[in-house]
Amino acid sequence: MGNRVIIAVPAVNLVLWLVFLPDDDGTRTNFARQVTGEFVGSTMVLLFATSLLLATRARWLEPHFGGLDKMYRAHKRAGLAGFLLIAVHFALVPLNTAAVKPGTPAGMIAGVGIFVLVLLTVAPRIPVARRFALTYDRWRSSHRFIGVFFIVALAHSLLVDALVTTTVVPLAVLIAAYAIGILSYLYTLLLARFFRRTRRYVVQSVRRLNGTTVEVGLRPRKKKRMAFTAGQFLFVRFKSRGALRRSHPFTISSSPKEEVLRLTIKASGDFTRQLYESLAEGTRATLVGCYGMFDYKRGGPRQIWVAGGIGVTPFLSWIRDLDHEDPLRHRVDFFYTVRHPADAVFLEEIEDVARRHPNLRAHIVYSSRGGSLTAEKIAAASGGLSGADVYMCGPSKMTATLARRFRRIGVPSASIHYEEFNFR
């Protein structure tokens, strides 16, 4: 439902501007052009306010998007849509060079600032811009300034001679959007840490499973453990030097019933590389969460689980939880694909659990030997996909490709579930 609301925002705003059209006093030679430009600008503000609201990680919003990972995807899409409207707004609103209003410089600063920060966000996905991409840690620090430029945009709206001030309803909506966006930004920046569910842990063990993957065992510093559902993720920061001091999301790979909370992490960026190389036992950690609605128990009796690389973590949590629950009631084919045998972590444990639970069949796929895993191969190995719910976690390119192919061979979109762990 949440995504539908976001899609409806520009349409509803357009209706309001058409019904409550600003007054034309006859003194503006480009009235239609300015009305269009201001409508685009107000829509841009609504989208950025939505993006800032979603960035709060508000728990009451999560069910409407199907999990925090989907909320972040909606956050990015709303921000990107607003980003694309910046240039349209500047192109449409006529600039009177003979009498520049006080708000004009503020608008230029806000527009250029937001444009640059969003461009840095999408840079890793644009081949020609990848060399300008920031590390995750630096990007995260710079990304916080979007709220500052949003406040500067409010100054722009207040100080220019805008037509929207002559029509009550669009003006009220615009003011409400600014209020929601600014309050959301200030909450995220200053207050969220006091309201989010936080637990204090300490690193009990650090097991390096291969050349890139490490399992971190955490035990609570007090008796109260972090409550979570198998397959959820949390944010963790360590009392250490450098990047480890910053909060970072990881899916929990242990069962909720275990005394020690386990995270299985692959070194793929500055934070994770430093964690792999230098995290030591005894380091204190602060955990925030938990989040996510990736839960096979909500699905039907026939299921397909697909893990790609480190995307195995939520499935590890599900599998490890089996020994603490009743026997698996669903009939599951679990496909775990990695490039080389050395990349497969906890393989013996997975196969051992599958032997003890007849309803769970494990399929280990090495792409270097037999090629990439495809929807057709999954259908053939599992005996067909009719009536099956599909759960996927792995690289975004893999999950997107498989989801597209699953739909083409008849799996309904409502039966395809996945978790995204790319928060950039």
Using 50, 70 and 90 to split pLDDT, how confident is the model at 83? confident
Look at residue 212 and tell me whether its pLDDT is greater than 60: yes
Encode burial over 71-96: b for 16+ CB neighbours within 10 A, e otherwise: bbbbbbbbbebbbebbeebbebbeee
pLDDT digits (tens, 9 = 90+) for 165-200: 888 999 999 999 999 999 999 999 999 888 888 899
Residue 264: predicted pLDDT: 94
Find the mean pLDDT for residues 346-357. Answer: 91
Residues 6+ apart with CB under 8 A from 403: 392, 416, 418
Largest CA distance in the chain: 81
Look at residue 276 and tell me whether its pLDDT is greater than 80: yes
pLDDT digits (tens, 9 = 90+) for 361-388: 999 999 888 888 999 999 999 988 989 9
Residue 186: predicted pLDDT: 95
**Mean pLDDT of the chain, nearest integer:** 87
Among the residue ranges 141-155, 368-382, 393-407, the one predicted with the least confidence is: 141-155
pLDDT digits (tens, 9 = 90+) for 217-272: 999 998 788 889 999 999 999 988 777 888 889 999 999 999 999 999 998 877 88
pLDDT digits (tens, 9 = 90+) for 304-330: 999 998 999 999 999 999 877 767 788
Q: How far is CA 151 from CA 107, 112, 146, in A?
A: 10, 14, 9
List the structure tokens of 249: 């999301």
Among the residue ranges 75-79, 103-107, 335-339, the one predicted with the least confidence is: 103-107
Predicted TM-score (pTM) of the model is 0.84
Determine contact, residues 37/92, Cβ cutoff 8 Å.
yes
